[in-house]
Amino acid sequence: MKRVVVFCGSSLGFNSIYRDTAKELGKVLAEKNIGMVYGGGKLGMMGIIADAILDHQGEVIGVIPKLLEKEEVVHHAVEEMIVCRRMSERKVTMSKLVDGYITLPGGFGTLDELFEALTLNQLHIEQKPVGLLNINGFFDATLQQIQHMIAEGYIKPENQQLLIVGNSVEELLDKMQAYQAPEKSDVINKVVR
């Protein structure tokens, strides 16, 4: 992987373990020469990881919608900042720039971005690794919900392999580097034809 999107919150959360792990991820990405594309903000987890990468001379590209391009939100130390018109355009722009996705703790927007990346892979629009850094069990309930959706017949069991879960930075990056995209299912092949 040469470059990844990192989805994460514009808030810090209450537990310092999330901030510490964001700093660690930023440092490791810079050391491995893996660039980061992110939401362009200086607040919360977004600001923490961007600062960590910049502190270690790594590559950071921000993609921010015009409505959020405010002095108190945008990260001015990021050299490349792409301003787009809409949130939906932001996702497409980010996707075109990267080889994979990493999700850290966050809120509704973070989950929206995670599930859109998974859906793109499920539909074989993309074939990129989608990683979830499950810091301190933050995503345990989300993972349980996915298992429930499988049990109730709304997600195919084989599609759970589209989500790569790691409990540490190194574990997640190793799994993402080793990721092999699954073959198109018969259902998708019929739809595509």
Give me the CATH number covering residue 149: 3.40.50.450
For residue 29, what is the enclosing H or E element? helix 16-31
Half-sphere exposure for 125 (CA within 13 Å, toward CB): 10
For the chain, the domain total comes to 1
124 SS3 class: coil
Q: Note the pTM of the prediction, 2 decimals.
A: 0.91
Q: Residue 84: CB partners within 8 Å, gap ≥ 6?
A: 63, 64, 65, 66, 90, 93
Q: Which domain holds residue 134?
A: 3-192
Nearest to 91 by CA among 55, 44, 39: 39
d(Cα 60, Cα 57) in Å, to the nearest integer? 9
Helices (H) and strands (E) in the chain, counts: 7, 7
Q: What is the full per-residue pLDDT of the chain (193 aa) written as tens digits? A: 999 999 999 999 999 999 999 999 999 999 999 999 999 999 999 999 999 999 999 999 999 988 777 766 889 899 899 999 888 899 999 999 999 999 999 999 999 999 999 999 999 999 999 999 999 999 999 999 999 999 999 999 999 999 999 999 999 999 999 999 888 764 454 444 3
